[in-house]
Amino acid sequence: MLLTGMNIPDMSLPRVVIVGGGFAGLSVARALSGTKFQVVLLDKHNYHTFQPLLYQVATAGLEPDAIAFPIRKIFKKHQNFFFRMTEVKSVSPEKNTLHTSIGSLVYDHLIIASGSKTNYFGIAGMEEQSMSMKSIPEALNLRSLILQNFERALLSSELEKQRSLMSFVIIGAGPTGVELAGALGELKTHVLAKDYPDLDLRKMQIHLIEAAPRVLAPMDPVSSAKAAQYLKELNVNIWVDTTVKDVKGNKVYTNSDKVFETDNIIWTAGVIGAAIDGLDDALTKPNRIEVNEYNQVKGHTNIYALGDVAQMNTPSTPKGHPMLAQVAIQQGNLLAKNLTNATLGKPLKAFKYNDLGSMATIGRNRAVVELPKFKFQGLFAWYVWMFVHLVSLVGFRNRVIVLINWIWNYVNYDRGIRLIIRPFKREIPNGNE
Amino acid sequence: MLLTGMNIPDMSLPRVVIVGGGFAGLSVARALSGTKFQVVLLDKHNYHTFQPLLYQVATAGLEPDAIAFPIRKIFKKHQNFFFRMTEVKSVSPEKNTLHTSIGSLVYDHLIIASGSKTNYFGIAGMEEQSMSMKSIPEALNLRSLILQNFERALLSSELEKQRSLMSFVIIGAGPTGVELAGALGELKTHVLAKDYPDLDLRKMQIHLIEAAPRVLAPMDPVSSAKAAQYLKELNVNIWVDTTVKDVKGNKVYTNSDKVFETDNIIWTAGVIGAAIDGLDDALTKPNRIEVNEYNQVKGHTNIYALGDVAQMNTPSTPKGHPMLAQVAIQQGNLLAKNLTNATLGKPLKAFKYNDLGSMATIGRNRAVVELPKFKFQGLFAWYVWMFVHLVSLVGFRNRVIVLINWIWNYVNYDRGIRLIIRPFKREIPNGNE
């Protein structure tokens, strides 16, 4: 058994290298289990992150272990499977070689499932001044920052400074921004008011800014209206048709005269693909990788892209599919089948997205759900939201931990994890861990 | 209501300032609830840490929220109570003023419950080269380091380097060292062997080094012998009568010819008091603060020291009391009573330590327990250990979370939280967060 770079044994099986252990990477790796491939999965973390619940980590409702799952544990019974924790740099397609921070690796098939990253739309200073929420370290940084700024507000005698420390500006009213705003609204009423009796909590203003004319713009106007109503009930100020133009210190400037002052800027306004270097011919404008209906990267037959990073332009999706977990999972499963089909000489099957619907929750007992055939809001939607998220988590342990925390938080109107374990320092670039 | 430095309102009540939210600080603050004092509690963290279970955080068995409890939550219903997150620097007794990183504060009574810190006995380089386990960030750093070094071991083709990355040298076989060694032994057999099928786990050596002639030296020889037997069953190598002289790179030199090579040096060999500046006349050699039988600091009538940082020399404790949670809690409760007694003109009561016993656990189903009247080991001792630790935790939520994790880990032979959330980097000084 020869070892190549990165100490991956050279087996007499075709080698599939998968970049990224998100929804797409995980689903294709799992579906390849038991097939005649050597599977190498690479990720910069040693765990899979269930991103839809990151906002609950940021708002002290869940610990990371509830939504993160060790990748080695998922695959511990799999044959011919290898995981390496590394940062992938680039690919040399002409040599069938992938370059990473721990060495290079030759592949027979390369699957790029590197997901997406935050898009700051070129607003100078926004990356440094704002918090994003794409990873667990980022969510923990946000949790620390919220609590640190409340501790700091206690020490300030200046009214303006106190207001700025206690106020939140969330830019982008997609599901992440909406759910985070709702969670902050609940944190204000049920937790922070009790923890900080010395502070006048009316100074805590939560602003949700959206460039589109309504929150949850990709959903039906009925859902948007209901979500907006729920947010207002939680004292969230909604600013639609509002674009952020600039940020300077604690001031956020918009396309209107409105200027927001806050020490808590949270950026959830957009993402672009997290493409890797070396596939420039297939790169699209939002930094995604153009693929055909089999998820093959444009100009290549043994390189594939899946999920957020893949852009499959079809008549019904001229700008590619939405960056959703469902797309990633379905593409991963299909690609595993197609890889096997190809080795058996069977025809490949083209991808067709089966839209299972979308949903968002806004505080306790409130959610909006859109299924393919009908849509609904309120308490029942909230149950559906919880059920879908619980069963989507990887592993029984995580489901148990999340459920217990939810029950606890619901019964006690509590968020028990308001711990500043590692104080957030602005010097450390966001998400660089 | 006048505000003084640090924005603590000036009430017409005598002000008690407590430094430290550990067992001692918490117990005196709670016992002062409902009395005619203004209570100000200061801590560098916004949570209380249940230190006896830190080793389970380090070995992927528990998340921080299981053993940390938000201080503001403990006191949310208390009147006249104020918490500030800050680092205490020094005291000016002649001005009744305490100096902190966020300002100065005048006190009527000052209670120093700042605990203990790691003692490296002047071994050059040990602080930089080793991991300690006195705080949650330190325990999380250790968790990351263990997993990172296993990931690195996979990438090494050099046998010596692999052995060094996979080996552990724990210096100090007190309860912390013994419990950690046992937990690592279990991690090796039940978790790491499955996670890393490519690695030969026989290379993972766990060494426990102790200067005294036996492990758990303060306990009865019967307990020590049983603990040593349990450790050997978990493949821990015990080196008694062994002192560490020097550390260079990954080499640990001892008083014998034995040199250990390891990338995982864990220092649990000793602590000294974490006294604050300004009380030099009362400072003892192990950096504790000398107090009388009422916990009054030598030479002062309105400054007190409690718990680990206090040294109360009595005929039965010529070197002060052991640094144990029980001492801290009992002293805290008594001091609260004495403060009230003093205002009522009642006589003060002298401290008398009520030794409730000591215990340690070494892996599943194994523990040693010493109660005042009898001692026992094995399965029943393990149940007692678990029960005592569960009921000692602050808050019902933490008990539930710990219990569920314990049941899960026991039934599944698992440690579910093997997540490298923030990779450990040697540049960041240990415990500086």
- Closest CB from A155, A194, A404 relative to B7: A155
A210 with A240: CB under 8 angstroms?
Answer: yes
- Phi/psi of residue A25, nearest 5 degrees: -60, -40
Residue B5's pLDDT is: 75
Q: What are the tens digits of pLDDT across the range A206-249? A: 999 999 999 999 999 999 999 999 999 999 999 999 999 999 99
CB contact (8 A) between residue A157 and residue B433: no
Task: List helix spans (H) across B266-395.
Answer: 325-343, 379-392
Distance CA A243, CA A255 (A): 5
Q: What are the tens digits of pLDDT across the range A89-120? A: 999 999 999 999 999 999 999 999 999 999 99
Helix (H) or strand (E) holding B127: helix B126-129
Q: What are the tens digits of pLDDT across the range A11-48? A: 999 999 999 999 999 999 999 999 999 999 999 999 99
What's the DSSP call for residue B53? G
Q: Which residues between 1 and 20 in chain A have a beta carbon less than 8 angstroms from any beta carbon of chain B? A: 3, 6-7, 9
Q: Which residues of A touch B415 (CB under 8 A)?
A: none
Distance from CA of A190 to the nearest CA of B (A): 12
Residue B429's pLDDT is: 44
CB contact (8 A) between residue A397 and residue B416: yes
Q: Which residue has the higher pLDDT, A6 or B18?
A: B18
Residue A433's pLDDT is: 37
Average pLDDT over residues A146-152: 97
Distance CA B212, CA B189 (A): 28
Q: Which residues of B touch A49 (CB under 8 A)?
A: none
Q: Is B295 left (phi over 0), alpha (psi -120 to 50) or beta?
A: left
Q: Is B186 a catalytic residue?
A: no
CB contact (8 A) between residue A73 and residue B195: yes
Mutate to test the interface with A, among B8, B147, B419 (most CBs of A within 10 A): B419
Q: Enter the pTM of the model.
A: 0.95
Distance CA A195, CA A200 (A): 12
* pLDDT of chain B, 433 residues: tens digit per residue: 567 679 999 999 999 999 999 999 999 999 999 999 999 999 999 999 999 999 999 999 999 999 999 999 999 999 999 999 999 999 999 999 999 999 999 999 999 999 999 999 999 999 999 999 999 999 999 999 999 999 999 999 899 999 999 999 999 999 999 999 999 999 999 999 999 999 999 999 999 999 999 999 999 999 999 999 999 999 999 999 999 999 999 999 999 999 999 999 999 998 999 999 999 999 999 999 999 999 999 999 999 999 999 999 999 999 999 999 999 999 999 999 999 999 999 999 999 999 999 999 999 999 999 999 999 999 999 999 999 999 999 999 999 999 999 999 999 999 999 999 999 987 544 443 3
CB contact (8 A) between residue A422 and residue B400: no
Residue A432's pLDDT is: 39
Residue B17's pLDDT is: 98
pLDDT surpasses 80 at A413: yes
Q: Which residues between 162 and 201 in chain A have a beta carbon less than 8 angstroms from any beta carbon of chain B? A: 194-198
CB contact (8 A) between residue A408 and residue B397: yes
Which chain B residue's Cα is nearest to A86?
A: B151
Q: Which residues of B touch A72 (CB under 8 A)?
A: 195-196, 418
Distance CA A11, CA B111 (A): 66
Q: Which residues of A touch B416 (CB under 8 A)?
A: 65, 70, 73, 395, 397
Distance CA A236, CA B346 (A): 55
Which residue of the set A63, A87, A138, A179 is catalytic?
A: A179
Q: Does B400 contact A at CB distance below 8 Å? A: yes
Distance from CA of B129 to the nearest CA of A (A): 21
pLDDT surpasses 60 at A429: no
Which residue of the set B63, B179, B186, B370 is catalytic?
A: B179
Q: What is the pLDDT confidence band of residue A121, given thresholds at 50, 70 and 90?
A: very high
Distance CA A357, CA B245 (A): 65
Edge-first strand order for the sheet with B38-43 is B81-85, B38-43, B15-19, B109-112, B303-305
Distance CA A410, CA A248 (A): 38
Structure tokens at A187: 């944190």
A11 with A34: CB under 8 angstroms?
Answer: no
Q: CA gyration radius for chain B?
A: 22
- Closest CB from B64, B198, B419 relative to A70: B419
Residue B428's pLDDT is: 41
Structure tokens at B109: 């009574």
B284 with B273: CB under 8 angstroms?
Answer: yes
- Phi/psi of residue A250, nearest 5 degrees: -100, 20
Buried b (16+ CB within 10 A) or exposed e, B173-204: bbbbbbbbbbbbbbbbbbbbbebbeebeeeeb
Full set of structural domains in chain A with CATH: 2-118+272-343 (3.50.50.60), 143-269+364-412 (3.50.50.100)
CB contact (8 A) between residue B65 and residue A419: yes
Q: Which residues between 48 and 87 in chain B have a beta carbon less than 8 angstroms from any beta carbon of chain A? A: 63-65, 68, 70, 72-73, 76, 82, 84-85
Distance CA A11, CA A24 (A): 25
Residue A1's pLDDT is: 58
Q: Which residues of B touch A40 (CB under 8 A)?
A: none
Distance CA A172, CA A267 (A): 7
Q: Which residues of A touch B82 (CB under 8 A)?
A: 198
Q: What is the pLDDT confidence band of residue A2, given thresholds at 50, 70 and 90?
A: low
A143 with A328: CB under 8 angstroms?
Answer: no
Residue A5's pLDDT is: 74
Q: Which residue has the tokens 């507000």?
A: A153
Which chain B residue's Cα is nearest to A3?
A: B157
Q: What are the tens digits of pLDDT across the range A305-342? A: 999 999 999 999 999 999 999 999 999 999 999 999 99
Establish, for the pair of chains A and B, how many residue pairs have beta carbons separated by less than 8 Å. Answer: 127
Residue A40's pLDDT is: 98
Q: Does A202 contact B at CB distance below 8 Å? A: no
